[in-house]
Chains A and B, each alone.
Chain A
Amino acid sequence: MNRFAELLDRLSYEPARNNKLRLIADYLRKTEDPERGWALAALTGALTFKHAKGGMIRALIAERTDPALFALSYDYVGDLSETVALMWPADPNHRANKTPSLTDVVETLSTLGKAQLPAQIARWLDALDETGRWALLKLVTGGLRIGVSARLAKTAAASLSGKEPDELEIIWPGLAPPYLDLFAWLEGRGDKPNNLDAAPFRPAMLAHALEETDLAALNPEDFTAEWKWDGIRIQAVSGRDENGEPVMRLYSRTGEDISKSFPDLLASLRLPAAIDGELLILREGRVQSFNVLQQRLNRKAVTPKLLNEFPAHLRAYDLLAEGGEDLRELSFAERRARLDKFITQLDDPRIDLSPQVTFETWDQLIAARANPAEGGAGLDAEAVEGVMLKRRDSVYVPGRPKGPWWKWKRDPMIIDAVLMYAQRGHGKRSSYYSDYTFGVWNGDNELVPVGKAYFGFTDEELKEIDCFVRRNTVNKFGPVREVTHDAATGLVMEVAFEGLQRSTRHKSGVAMRFPRISRLRWDKPPRDADRLETLEKMLVKIEVGRAA
């Protein structure tokens, strides 16, 4: 448990993905079976046992500590598990003779009755140190929340033998903790485990971004186009297990199983196949904005009310398998024809075909992208994020190969805003002011913050902004600096963003989607920056478009 705790501790502070990968890989390399397998299960969210509740942890600490000292400590630390982990006084009468391993903890928890849980947790707390107790409490209360995705943990495991993460992803659904066969294969001691899963994930194919100027080098005849919907890219897979029972699953594009969140869609996957498509919310046949979809995401409980208000829908782009047949080696044109037939045959109101955009010349496609409503998307035009170009002859390969697929997003919305506050970044950026809060003028000629951005600029521009911040600081609040921002002096930034919605959380009443700094306007005095009315107008336009 101690080494696992150290790993979690270090990961929780490490901002950079590559460093996290190395920390996990180092742990997996140096830790024995089955301990490391349980750790991998914990990091990928594959552990299942009854979780302890906050109230139980509170009761445990109340038995051992003075209430006033606990209250002062909790007030200072601000987190229950952490407070308990730090102030837990070991029972002097029951000196533990051994610290529990992660394996001990996982195996015990899987068989332990609810009534014995508090006493068992107290014994473990007695035997562990501060970091160990912190990790234990995170584990038993569920949700590690240390900024590591299942994909990242799998990538680290694959790196043990220089394998591509997708290779591991393909067999992953057939594996079970503590993954002895997986590690044996990764270390060259065993064969590659078979994925016997009836509804496996197939690593997704992704597209490169395209600029209008790239079109000249491409031949329109080689390509088909379809709308890029502003939802969540998913893979919907259906198969039959060894008993002939149907198995249905939904995966995110990184292979995380998200079936539990969308039971309403799951039931529609009646025919065995693997569909690549976009998860959307449809109401009365109309695609809802991403903001609406977001309200369905990250909910703990999927209530009937939620299902009713936010009905899930799958808009199909591609067919990767049908029955037992793998279609990925076929050309996109052939797969699309199969998909067309399959969707007709499935005949389910929750699953439909993503329409193709017809064009013969690039100019026609440019026109359709500029105006999706006229170009065929009709009333759903607001949910169109751009167009996808796919070579007719493209086979389906994992990853992001350059050439076969292109995504060509709609032009972002743009405003000129004034830099108000800057905050230092993390990791490599920890000496740079790299997180910016910017504002626009309101009716009283005051700047109101409308958003925050921390990318979009070049390294060179980052240095320039950092220099500006250091020279023009008027106030410091911890890691945050307020910079000069009056009508005459200040830094105007062109901010690009993908969407806009009303928000009660922001003083300005609006919130941007995906804002980034697209240009620095050193030439522009702050007084010429945009006004809140401009955003209001954009918002009204969106709302009118949606209501039409």
Chain B
Amino acid sequence: MSPEDILVPTPSGVCCKAGGFHIDPTRPVAKALITHGHSDHARAGHGAVLATQETLDIMRLRYGENFATSTQAVAYGETIKLDGVNVSLHPAGHVLGSAQIRVERGGLRIVVSGDYKDVPDPTCAPFELVPCDVFITEATFGLPVFRHHNADGEIAKLLHSVELFPERAHLVGAYSLGKAQRIIALLRKAGYDKTIYLHGAMQKITAYYQERGIDLGHVELVSGAKKSELAGTITICPPSAMTDLWSRRFPDPVAAFASGWMRVRARARQRGVALPLVISDHADWDGLTKTISATGCSEIWVTHGQEDALVHWAHLQGLKARPLDIVGYGDEEEGEPAEAGA
């Protein structure tokens, strides 16, 4: 049996014909398995949706009660059978509820990792290494220049800036699902115990994280605060809001942006960022290559991102490798649609 007998890559996601399902399809299908709640992977309008409870909840928060005809929650580690195909979900360490999907039939194991990172994150279950024959990986940061070790160091940089400019407001651009909550949790871990303000777009998901028992301390919507009260404070907002009219409510704001893209100076400058924070929810180059090697796979498929370099690297390691060119991934998590095709 070849891997293609189990999973077929299509431009709108990978499809398991035998099991009758798609994984993270970018167009409506009868049965979808969803790795995580980011909108480029989790879309509304499918028939049946299978995912972790958290991912289902997040989809419900974003798309409303009727985002799918039916839903089924699958716990991490639980194996379900879909028309003779064994399917199980395993933590991906990307955001709350994110999962890798292991698909096995006739002894051949394929892992669809979705988006993942192999470093600790206080807001989600840690990445689990799942041995497999074929590893389907992302490559958002698939170039050796992307290395984002030590998020704590970046948080220290932010706190140093807050201390140095007490009369200014610090705006931290971060994606509303996952990154925002991780930044808050990291700030708490570093001992920052003041109120952290939120842009309205962050509210629902942040409240959900708190409901799930993740301690984020005291957070508050920024819309109620006066300009003068915001001196010396930290506000988490969507990246686009930093240059929006919205930012004028803050006293001389310092624009910070938490993203793996901030590793490249031209990227930070293009966005007018004064305080780039290299904090990413994706595996960096070292994380991608280490993980691929550790799964023991003999073949990788690359869904999206900087696939050229990763495919080249895999060939150097004697692995089979192919890019899948899936259209539409990478649209949400880094908020830069132009990146999807790059």
Give me the interface of A with B, judged by CB distance under 8 Å: 6, 10, 12-15, 19, 22-23, 26, 65-66, 68-69, 72-73, 76-79, 82-83, 86-87, 89, 130, 424, 426-428, 430-431, 478-479
Contact = CB atoms under 8 A, between A and B. Distances in A.
A83 B266 CA distance: 12
Contacts of A87: 143-145
A76 B264 contact: yes
A442 B245 CA distance: 36
A26 B164 contact: yes
Nearest to B153: A129
B244 A431 contact: yes
Interface in B265-284: 265-266, 268-276
24 contacts: A6-B157, A10-B161, A13-B269, A13-B274, A13-B275, A19-B165, A66-B313, A72-B306, A72-B312, A73-B144, A73-B309, A76-B264, A77-B266, A78-B266, A79-B266, A86-B144, A86-B146, A86-B263, A428-B252, A430-B243, A431-B243, A431-B248, A479-B243, A479-B271
B210 to A, nearest CB: 30
A13 B268 CA distance: 8
Which of A14, A89, A130, A479 has the most chain B CB atoms inside 10 A of its CB?
A130
B310 to A, nearest CB: 10
Pairs of residues from A and B, 6 with the lowest C-beta to C-beta distance, nearest first: A86-B145, A87-B144, A73-B145, A430-B272, A72-B309, A431-B247
Given A13-B273, A82-B265, A76 B145 contact: yes
A77 B264 contact: yes
Which of B147, B157, B248, B274 has the most chain A CB atoms inside 10 A of its CB?
B274
A453 B285 CA distance: 42
Given A6-B157, A10-B275, A479-B272, A73 B143 contact: yes
B316 A66 contact: yes
B31 to A, nearest CB: 38
Contact of A478 (B157, B265, B270, B274): B270
Given A19-B165, A22-B165, A69-B143, 7 more contacts: A6-B157, A72-B312, A76-B306, A78-B266, A79-B266, A426-B272, A430-B255
A427 to B, nearest CB: 7
A77 B145 contact: yes
Interface string B296-310: 000000000010110
B47 to A, nearest CB: 37
B242 interface: yes
A10 B263 CA distance: 13
Contacts of B146: 86
B256 to A, nearest CB: 10
B109 to A, nearest CB: 29
B319 to A, nearest CB: 15
A325 to B, nearest CB: 46
Contacts of B145: 73, 76-77, 83, 86-87
A72 B272 contact: no
A22 B161 CA distance: 11
Interface size for chain B: under 10, 10 to 19, 20 to 34, or 35 or more residues? 35 or more
Contacts of A427: 274
B143 A72 contact: yes
A49 to B, nearest CB: 25
A386 B132 CA distance: 79
Nearest to A463: B248
A479 B268 CA distance: 13
Contacts of A13: 268-269, 273-276
Nearest to A467: B245
B214 to A, nearest CB: 29
A23 B164 contact: yes
Contacts of B147: 86, 130
Interface string B142-158: 01111100000000010
B335 to A, nearest CB: 14
Given A19-B165, A430-B247, A76 B143 contact: yes
A424 B189 CA distance: 35
Contacts of A86: 144-147, 263-264
A79 B266 CA distance: 9
Nearest to B148: A130
Contacts of A72: 143, 306, 308-309, 312
Contacts of B248: 431
A130 B263 contact: yes
B273 to A, nearest CB: 7
A65 B144 CA distance: 10
Nearest to B268: A13
A73 B306 CA distance: 10
Interface string B228-263: 000000000000001111111000110100000001
B11 to A, nearest CB: 24
Which of B165, B264, B269, B316 has the most chain A CB atoms inside 10 A of its CB?
B264
A14 B157 CA distance: 14
Contacts of B245: 431
Contacts of B268: 13
Contacts of A68: 309, 312
A14 B309 contact: no
